[in-house]
Chains A and B, each alone.
Chain A
Amino acid sequence: MPKQHQQKTKQSPYAADRGIPAAYEGETVTRRRFMEVNAMTVGGIASAAFGLPALGFAVGPMFEKTTRSGFEPVGIEADFSDTDYTQKVITIVDDVGEAGKATVYIRRFNPELDRDHFRQPYIAISNRCMHVGCPIRYVQASQRFICPCHGGIYDFQGIVTGGPPVRPLDRFRTRVRNGVVEVGRRFSVTDALDEMYSPRDPSNHLNGLWKYLYPPRPTT
């Protein structure tokens, strides 16, 4: 073993010294080696030429803002009370039929009940459970939002009181135009109900240090 090693280190860098036929003076890279490297490089460039655009094509939607930005009217102000939720259906994504629709629970802001800092005239709560995204429903008798899949329970403000969900229910921006209530973009919240975070997926924690593990995405 050591002998072989010695031999290898002694080998001359010059092709001519190694007895390679037709080597010219000072040649260190043999023609064979040169062609090998060239063929590999050309092959690599050719593969990248179709591979990279195809990959970019596939991952492109990850970097485009795809959420709806406008407001959608849901009814006149008289339709809503400030002590109870009214159920409305809005379109979150166009062109996918029922799959793009979502139920929203809407109630007028009530200074006696609500302590949040969002300054929205109406409270619009998303029906998407914050565990893994099943549709929750509001149960009038218990004044709770309840998820049928894995038993997530939220109180009147949408804050988790039981089950596996990791954060309060998402909300939507609201505004009133000419007496008509309009629902806008989704935003995510923490238990403190103090800051409007860009919408995160269900299952993404937002409290404390968790929010650094679930960063905002380019799509929202």
Chain B
Amino acid sequence: MKLPTPPLPKALRRRPARPGSRPSRNGARANGAVHDLRPGARERDGKPSSKGGSQIDRQRLKDQAAEVPVSIAGWLDERSGASPFMRGFMYRKVPRGTNWFYTLGSATMFAFLSQAVTGVFLAMYYNPAPADAYESISHITNEVFLGEFVRGMHRWGATVMVILIFLHMARTFFFGAYKYPRELNWVIGVVLLVLTLAMALTGYLLPFDQRGFWATVVAVNINASGPILGPYLADFLRGGAEFNAITLSRFYSIHMLLIPVLIAALIGAHLYLVAKLGTAAPPWMKAEKAKALAREEV
């Protein structure tokens, strides 16, 4: 089944011509446009350059400038064929009753983007060596310009992301949006939740203060409590039998390379499925009956 292409939003539609004006090259109309818009055309016509002529030149430049984004977008679109996809993705129809709760997923994604951006810049100053980690964090917080702000964004943003992802999950659960055909998206979402918590865990160690260190010791020992495989998992996380020199860099690598890539890829899959399947209407919305099927019984 092929869905009809949604209409272009108003801002992108071509404006109708004003009465009495002539089309410019891109079809747009300029108010008070004259026959020849090339520079100096008036002079060549034998008429002296006047105030009116410079106005026309200005108008011509404006028209050209207005054309630039359109032609860039056109150039890209002609070569990538992205616009039907983007139109379907950005301007897809949503069910009646869609409300603010439906923005929790996007909010979580923006929390992730914020973490990704601030994290990349924190990595420019952070040093994951046991002897230097704490010092580099305190350098970021106390000396680097805006360091306290960027680190604060990352540190509190982590909490915000965890809260948002749980709220998003609750919305999905209470609205029944996990049901057929969206089960796979629920599963991907659960994996994203686990990865987000793994981010929170691995990031907690990085300031290398007492709290982070002991939280990590406890968390790794909880992993070790799993039967048979648990002790090996703990050894893998620590890179040895005890907390040692490579544990911090392992956590750092997992925190800033391994898991973010997985999260980004899974968010892509999550969004693809949302666009493909559409969002579910809230449970209090009744399905509309088609007029032809409705029957009045007296």
Residues of A that sit less than 8 Å from B by CB:
58-59, 61-62, 64, 66-67, 92-97, 99-100, 132-135, 149, 199-204, 213-215, 217, 219-220
Contact = CB atoms under 8 A, between A and B. Distances in A.
Contacts of B244: 66, 93, 95-96, 100
B221 A92 contact: no
Contact of B230 (A66, A94, A214): A214
Contacts, number: 91
A200 B296 CA distance: 76
Interface in B2-39: none
Interface stretch (B77-85, B149-157, B210-218): B210-218
Contacts of B232: 62, 217
A99 B246 contact: no
Nearest to A96: B130
Nearest to B225: A203
B72 interface: no
A64 B240 CA distance: 7
B243 A59 contact: no
B222 A66 contact: no
A132 B218 contact: yes
A58 B232 CA distance: 13
Contacts of B246: 61
Given A132-B221, A134-B218, A204-B225, A93 B236 contact: no
12 contacts: A59-B236, A61-B240, A93-B242, A93-B245, A97-B131, A100-B242, A132-B221, A132-B225, A133-B217, A133-B218, A134-B217, A203-B225
B57 interface: no
Interface of B: 130-131, 208, 213-214, 217-218, 220-222, 224-225, 227-228, 230-232, 234-236, 238-247
Main SS of chain A's interface residues? loop
Given A95-B130, A199-B241, 16 more contacts: A66-B242, A66-B244, A67-B241, A92-B242, A94-B245, A95-B245, A96-B244, A100-B242, A100-B244, A133-B218, A201-B225, A201-B230, A202-B221, A203-B222, A214-B231, A217-B235
Nearest to B208: A99
Contacts of A92: 242
A99 B213 contact: yes
B243 A203 contact: no
A214 B221 contact: no
